[in-house]
Amino acid sequence: MNTKEILNQYKTIAVVGFSDNQDRDSNRIAVYMKNNGYNVIGINPKLEGKEIDGIKCYSHLRDVPEKINIVNIFRLAIAVPGIVEETLKLNPRPEVIWTQLGIFHEEAKKLAENSGIIFVENRCLYIEHKLN
């Protein structure tokens, strides 16, 4: 499944590493996606219970009460395996894990893919959405 198909089919995105700072990419891209028809959820323990720019925030993926389709990761590569492991524990499971530009983790990618989750790495949601 290519990124266009993913973005056309899946509409609920959890942004891990979401920021309340409007100068940060994790905020700007999340707000852009929300303004373009996606249900965007912020994941950041420091913002738990807050609503930033219309985006409700939770501490962890497991705290989100609705089904997540795409887990979008704005964290350092070293954090990716833990996020993949947390994603695999969700029921129902998200269909996609997506890491932003510059974020690679081969073992985490294999773990996700071996568990039936689409893994998109080193791609920007904003750029991919604009291209489509």
Q: For residue range 2-34, what is the model confidence (pLDDT) as tens digits?
A: 999 999 999 999 999 999 999 999 999 999 999
DSSP per residue, 104-132: --HHHHHHHHHTT-EEE-S--HHHHHHH-
CA 50 to the chain's CA centroid: 18
Q: What's the maximum distance between 2 C-alpha atoms anywhere in the chain?
A: 36
> Going from the N-terminus, what domains does the chain have, and what CATH number goes with each?
3-131 (3.40.50.720)
Residue-wise pLDDT for 26-85, tens only, equals 999 999 999 999 999 999 999 999 999 999 999 999 999 999 999 999 999 999 999 999
Q: Own/partner pairs for 109-112, CB < 8 Å, 24+ apart? A: 111/81, 111/84, 111/85, 112/84, 112/87, 112/88
Whether 72 contacts 125, CB under 8 Å: yes
Tokens 């373009």 locate to: 36
